[in-house]
Structure 1
Amino acid sequence: MDSSDDSKPGPKTPTFTHSTPFGRGYTGQTLFAVQAGIPTEVALTQACEVLAGTAATLCEMAEICPVEYRPLARSAIYQLEVATALVESSVPTSL
């Protein structure tokens, strides 16, 4: 039997981010990176805040943009909802 069974009750070992570059510029080099060593809970909380802000921006855009672009904005909102649900479902409810 594996001694690292995650189903056992008790305190979990904190997890941390690893360096993750993103935001490629026109030269192909990445411009930004998530820093290594940030507690996962902090990173996930920030991710949810960014997703919520982006969703609010898209909802406003869907209301004011020309009619022919509204389906694109609504599609992006749906994708953000999916990403938010995936992040939220990855966090234990006891956090």
Structure 2
Amino acid sequence: MTRYRTIATLFTFAATAIALQTSPGLAFSPEAQQMCSDDAMRLCSSEIPDIPRITACMVRNKSHVSPGCRAVMDREAAAAATRKREAAAQ
């Protein structure tokens, strides 16, 4: 049961880390959760289960995440920025 709770926390953490890079209301893709879970465990396991601390840790360590996680974080951040610009233009 503890293992499943840890995995669920990591998925939540990955989404939250990306949220900090994008916007709070963004729904995160399963791809983002999958690509960043290992990085979350490797870089920020000491912060579990405190989601805000995990989020801060991932953002601080963005330069150390795997290329796949970084690509997903960057792609979702760019999409959120585009949506924000479009909303501001209306």
TM-score range (shorter-chain normalised) is 0.3 to 0.5
Decide which structure has greater helix share.
2
Instruction: Report the TM-score, using the length of structure 1 for normalisation.
Output: 0.31
Higher relative contact order (CA 8 A, sep 6+): 2
Decide which structure has greater strand share.
1
Instruction: Report the TM-score, using the length of structure 2 for normalisation.
Output: 0.32
